[in-house]
Amino acid sequence: MKLAQLQLDQDGAWLHPVNRLSSPNADARPSDANITLAVIHGISLPPGCYGGGEIQQFFCNTLDYGAHEYFQSLRALRVSAHLLIGRQGDLTQFVSFRRRAWHAGVSSYQGLDHCNDYSIGIELEGTDHEPYMEDQYQALGRVLSLLTWTYPHITRDRIVGHSDIAPGRKTDPGAAFDWQHLNAVLNEC
């Protein structure tokens, strides 16, 4: 997929062309919720391992919990994100942007709790301590440009990390995520 071809449908719900897997871990946003926040996450399953498809399985409730001892800690969780950006910049959308994905957990931003209600969750395949890939920054920049155009309440200061909305509980996308570089990429989009 060429990033220049990436676009949102007319409802602002789905990206095209991207891989699409439907996660059952989503529901309707509150009727009065406006989409005003983008939350950047980092994930790898098992930690530090990339490209095996386990993240996709986890978000779709099809993960083989016996395949790795770490997976046992995930058994009771039901989570999703709107979008996953793989190490090579590949995109998989799990939930319509118009619906509520279950990515933020207990969270608050600028005094408003329940960030899932009004945010879009974007997972980057990675860890807090390994540099993210240039292809990921380019894909993220293109996605965020489309989202901020479609959802104008998502301004640059409302693009945050999971650690910003759940401090003390979450650390992702971590110290390895280069916010200055993301801003430079956004300036080019």
Beta bridge partners of 121: 39
Euclidean distance between CA atoms 68 and 57, whole angstroms: 13
Torsion of CA 168, 125, 49, 171, to 10 degrees: -10
Reply yes or no on whether 123 is catalytic. yes
Choose, from 69, 123, 125, 134, the residue flagged as catalytic.
123
105 torsion bin: left (phi>0), alpha (psi -120 to 50), beta (else):
left
Q: Are 104 and 116 in contact (CB under 8 A)?
A: yes
Enumerate the active-site residues.
123
